[in-house]
Amino acid sequence: KAGVTQTPRYLIKTRGQQVTLSCSPISGHRSVSWYQQTPGQGLQFLFEYFSETQRNKGNFPGRFSGRQFSNSRSEMNVSTLELGDSALYLCASRKGEGETQYFGPGTRLLVL
């Protein structure tokens, strides 16, 4: 069974631009979560989607948004990029409550 996939793997943007990252969960997994990883802040939870509904949201500004499609694929959008948004963005999926969460390889975003 294929793992969690994320596209693109690397991205370079400039301040003020917006970016969309994509995540395809493991087949049969209905939950997709997003995390931001930076050297200074570590791993921080962004949000989780389950069956196209946002279930939980971390402490991030409204510039960070997401959505989930009927096939469980998820996208994360960051508008008006700031230098501090440079990070590794990890997506993770799980089948349901109580199930193990599996991570994708991440998208490394660099904001110049």
Site residues (CB under 8 A) for another protein? 31, 33, 35, 42-45, 48, 50, 55-56, 58, 88, 90, 92, 94, 97-98, 100-106, 108
19 or 91, CB closer to another protein?
Answer: 91
Q: Measured from the CB atom, is 8 or 16 closer to another protein?
A: 8
Task: Please report how close the Cβ of residue 80 comes to another protein at its closest, in angstroms.
Answer: 25
Task: Point out which residues pair with 45 in neighbouring strands.
Answer: 35
Residue 37 dihedral angles phi and psi, to the nearest 5°: -120, 120
Whether the link from the prior residue into 8 is cis, omega within 30° of 0, is yes
Which structure tokens are listed for 35? 């995390």
CB of residue 25 to another protein, shortest distance in Å: 12
CB 112, min distance to another protein, A: 21
Nearest in space to 21 (alpha carbons), one of 84, 112, 108, 111: 108
